[in-house]
Chains A and B, each alone.
Chain A
Amino acid sequence: MTRKLPRYAPRLLAGASLLTALCAAAAVFPTLAADAPATGAPPGLDLSAPGVGWAGFVQPRAPNYDVARLFNDYANPATGIGPVSDGPAHPYVNNEVAREMRTAPTYRVADLENAAGKNLMPWVREALVKQNALAIQGRNGESREARCWEVGVPAFHLNPGVMQIIQTPKEVALFLTGRVRHIWMNVPHSANPKPSWYGESVGRYEGDTLVVDTIGFNGKTFVDSYRTPHSDRLHVVERFRLIDGGNTLEVAFTVEDPRAFYQPWSGTRNRHRVVNQNSLLPEFGCSEANDDYYNIGLEPVPTAEKRDF
């Protein structure tokens, strides 16, 4: 629309009121004045329109356990093994459930006897037995994210906040709570990816789905908020697509790790379209004033022992 302004402009100059309209239009739609930058995204998967973000949780109008339960959890897949979850012995009550249902929140205790629990190799199971014992005592139940550590994949998706996305033909960048993931488009994996918290992600569009393949993890993260560990052989495939008329971003993922899980498992995390033209990308000031003030044995925040430069 605004690209036509140059052609219309001389005629508009004839009338002051029309000129005012032109300038008003430029003020209201200034961004349209520049050439629209290429995103490389298929028309059905434009995730980075101005002001658009993707919220992991939108508060329901009335208390709703099923919605609140997924405040910061994966949903189970339609079929197959799902993520580690709570069990009947220790039902998990997240802060949102606690708030909506007027009950007390708990720490997470993993069910090791359901299908997801039985899918864990012995060392992983052992780690969760230890963690469960701590959580039951009310210790070590904070997520690592809350202690400012990088969270890895797929745990990146657990945060209930608003994810913002930039898409270019070369890269898709995901921004969430001051953390950034870079997905390199249409390139193969490196021969030897440098081990990292979010691994090396390469992406491609399959129709209206963004498929992201990630390897090269450093083995220091957990795949969920139950503190389920993994090895450096972790391989995650995420499929991002829009459902619900474009109002929901579905991230369906499959996790495989031949040294941690007997079989691949999968999960889903839906994010809801929210629009705020004034939103800024959040800064990562997590480690500022985030000490263990109450001496409850919180993990330390990441701290550089020596300077890089």
Chain B
Amino acid sequence: MCGARTGSHAVSFMLGIGACAVICEAAAAASDISGTYWATSYNPKIQILGGGEPPLNTASKAIYETNQAGLKDGSIMDKARRVCTPDGVPRVLATPYPFEIFQLPAGRVTFVYEMNHQVRSIVMDKPLPNLDTLIVDPRYNGHSVGHWDGDTLVVESAGYLENTFLDATGLPHSDELRTIERIRKVGNQLEDVITIHDPQMYTRDWQARFVYDERNDVKLEEYACNDTHRDIDGVKGVQAR
């Protein structure tokens, strides 16, 4: 809530300290997106905004084909499903199980997913450390910083472990993956539009959009590998088990 936003922008640009204006804007009033959300549909293959196929380059196309075949014949283990390691981003965004958003602790936004109790801790209003720093301690779901752009939470993440897939079909990424998500409430839904930036694997940046219903009537349940979990048959696209 950098109250004199417009004014401070104008003056600070005059003073040539644009970085300060960015920080002031970043500290803008937070919109309330806390609550419990649940997707209404699931697709094992990530759906690219605008349609079409992921813009893989020649090398990554071969990796994707190997992954697809390996996941099918079992020669490649889908660890996220078999031994329940975290999905990585954006695969976790496709979860057919509910998740919670806390705008807590102060200075953080915390995502807690029912599926394999994954967590994402978004550090607010701080710059994202450079990749050289982050890849010393890579995380499944990356390192994330966020700020508010009006009513939209903008989350930038990097420092991902490279042993995850972008989706359940084995879409690859490198450890140079960088994502930007724009997350906002639209009525009683939450929208997350993610931009994938991974020049090692893709010929251009591309986007996907995930939408969730607000479900504050739902309490997150436990999720332990190999247990019988919550009934998700109501989520369109979930295959019969």
Which residues on A are within 8 Å of B, measured CB to CB? 2-3, 5-10, 12-13, 16, 19-20, 22-24, 26-27, 30-37, 39, 48-52, 148-150, 166-168, 173, 175, 178-180, 182, 184, 194, 196-198, 280-285, 287-288, 301-309
Interface residues of B in 83-133 (CB under 8 A from A): 83-86, 96, 100, 102-108, 110, 112, 116-119, 121, 123-126
Contacting pair B225 A287 (CB below 8 A): yes
Q: Does residue B34 face the partner (Cβ distance < 8 Å to A)? A: yes
B186 at the interface (CB under 8 A from A): no
A150-B224, A180-B112, A303-B226 given as contacts; is B27 within 8 A of A26 (CB)? yes
Contacts A9-B8, A283-B118, A285-B85; is A48 near B104 (CB within 8 Å)?
A: yes
Please state if B119 and A281 are interface contacts (CB–CB under 8 Å): yes
10 contacts between A and B (CB under 8 A): A9-B4, A30-B124, A30-B126, A166-B104, A166-B105, A184-B219, A197-B222, A283-B139, A284-B84, A284-B117
The residues of A that contact B34 with a CB separation of less than 8 Å are 37, 168
Q: Is the CB of A5 within 8 A of B225?
A: no
Query: How would you classify the secondary structure of chain B's contact residues: helix, strand, loop or mixed?
Result: loop
Q: CB of B72 within 8 A of chain A?
A: no
CB A1 to nearest CB in B, in angstroms, measures: 12
Beta-carbon nearest neighbor of B15 in chain A: A16
Task: Identify which of B102, B106, B107, B235 contacts A168 (C-beta below 8 A).
Answer: B102
**Of B3, B7, B219, B235, which one neighbours A7 at CB under 8 angstroms?**
B3
Contact with A along B173-191 (1 / 0, CB 8 A): 0000000000000000000
Q: In the bound complex, do residue A280 and residue B143 qualify as a contact, i.e. CB atoms below 8 Å apart?
A: yes
Q: Is the CB of B119 within 8 A of A182?
A: no
Name B residues whose Cβ lies closer than 8 Å to a Cβ of A: 1-4, 7-8, 11-12, 15, 17, 20-21, 23-24, 26-30, 34, 42, 79, 81-86, 96, 100, 102-108, 110, 112, 116-119, 121, 123-126, 139-141, 143, 163, 219-222, 224-226, 229, 232, 235, 238-239, 241
Contact partners of B238 in chain A: CB under 8 A: 309
Residues from chain B with Cβ under 8 Å of A7 in the complex: 3
By a CB distance below 8 angstroms, the chain B residues around A20 are 15, 17, 20
Query: Nearest CB to that of A33 among chain B residues?
Result: B27
Quick check: B106 and A50 within 8 Å, CB to CB? Answer: yes
In the complex, are the beta carbons of B85 and A287 less than 8 A apart? Answer: yes
CA distance A39 to B121 in the complex (A): 18
Distance in Å from the Cβ of A12 to the closest Cβ of chain B? 7
Q: How far is the CA of A89 from the CA of B206 in the complex (A)?
A: 65
Minimal Cβ-Cβ distance residue in B for A199: B222
Distance A115 CA – B53 CA, assembled complex (angstroms): 67
Expressed in whole angstroms, the minimum distance between the Cβ of A83 and any Cβ of chain B is: 24
Distance of A194 Cα from B104 Cα, bound (Å): 28
For the complex, what is the distance from the CA of A229 to the CA of B80, rounded to whole Å? Answer: 30
Closest B residue to A309 by CB, please name it.
Answer: B238
In the complex formed, the residue of B with least CB distance to A13 is B7
**B29 & A5 in contact (Cβ 8 Å cutoff):** no
Q: Which of A19, A31, A50 contacts B125 (CB 8 A)?
A: A31
